[in-house]
Amino acid sequence: MSDSISKSMSKNRSKSTSNNNYSLVVIISGNGNNLQAIIDSIESGNINAKISAVISNRADAYGLERAEKSGIEAKILDHTQFDSREAFDIELQQLIDTYSPDLIVLAGFMRILSDSFVQHYNGKMINIHPSLLPLYKGLHTHQRALTDKQSEHGASVHFVIPELDAGKIIIQGIVDVKEDDDDESLANRVHKIEHHIYPHAVKILAEGHLKYNGGELLYKDKPMEKPLRERLQ
Ligand code: GRF
């Protein structure tokens, strides 16, 4: 294993362990508010799963401390130590696979992933994106929604496929756009709804209610015609 896996921040047994063997690896780059929402949901018994590891490509990601506080193994894999995207992704894949997770949860992981990495986790990797996909793929989603004078905005949890922000959508969280919203106020409300919908998506996957059936989503054994929706109250 590479030297760039520089630090294992916790050797404690995870508190975020329940009776279920459903195992998550969460990949982050930063603050980890979505990670925290999932940790909280597991610790409160709402999600029956365990987080086997949190992996960050940045050593200064606050999410690593969140993991450590909950006794979850926290790993750093510094992308700047690799010559190419592919070399980093191969190492990341090897690291993830040591945990044999059922689900890989991208939670603010700020890197494009190579196609072969994404294909390796086909149907097993989810992401949260701050827009009502298919609207506003990519960056600066809140500002773009404001510029377009949208009345609604939000976030989407989706399976990851090689095309950016394009996989099957599991759930969307919707917020009203207010007259006096700016980028920050709108982003704050979207973050709030993210912290509901991401644990919800993990929960239904861990419970086996949602299945990725060769690219088609089955919810409670029926084809899922459209994403689940939650609205910020
Ligand atoms: C969230 O806004 C999410 O939509 C995007 O990255 C951000 C991560 O925030 N993918 P945090 O690290 O969970 O606080």
Q: Could you tell me the distance, in angstroms and rounded to a whole number, from the CA of residue 132 to the centre of ligand 1?
A: 14
Q: 193 with 33: CB under 8 angstroms?
A: no
Query: What percent of the chain has pLDDT above 70?
Result: 91
HSE on the CB side for 91, CA within 13 Å? 22
Number of domains in the chain: 1
> What is the pLDDT averaged over residues 165-192?
97
Confidence of residue 20 (pLDDT cuts 50, 70, 90): low
| Residue 191, in any domain of the structure | no
Task: Kindly report whether the global pTM for this prediction surpasses the value 0.85.
Answer: yes
Q: How many CB atoms are located within 10 Å of the residue 30 CB?
A: 18
Three-class DSSP category at 159? strand
| Residue 84, in any domain of the structure | yes
Strands 228-231 and 169-176 come out as parallel
Residue nearest to atom 1 of ligand 1 (CA): 108
Structural tokens at position 185:
């106020």
Cβ of residue 108 lying under 6 Å from some atom of ligand 1: yes
| Residue 90, in any domain of the structure | yes
Cβ of residue 199 lying under 6 Å from some atom of ligand 1: no
Q: 70 with 42: CB under 8 angstroms?
A: no
Domain residue limits at 123: 6-129+155-171+198-231
| Residue 142, in any domain of the structure | no
The predicted pLDDT at position 196 comes to: 98
Which residues, listed in sequence order, are joined to residue 213 by a DSSP beta bridge? Answer: 216
**CA separation for the pair 101, 205 (Å, rounded):** 13
Query: Please, which residues have CB within 8 angstroms of residue 13's CB and are 6 or more apart in sequence?
Result: 71
| Residue 138, in any domain of the structure | no
Q: Could you tell me the distance, in angstroms and rounded to a whole number, from the CA of residue 194 to the centre of ligand 1?
A: 8
Tokens 């950016």 belong to: 164
| Tens-place pLDDT, residues 98-118 | 999 999 999 999 999 999 999
| Residue 192, in any domain of the structure | no
Backbone angles phi, psi at 177, to 5 degrees: -90, 125
| Residue 149, in any domain of the structure | no
CATH classification at residue 87: 3.40.50.170
| Tens-place pLDDT, residues 21-67 | 999 999 999 999 999 999 999 999 999 999 999 999 999 999 999 99
| Residue 86, in any domain of the structure | yes
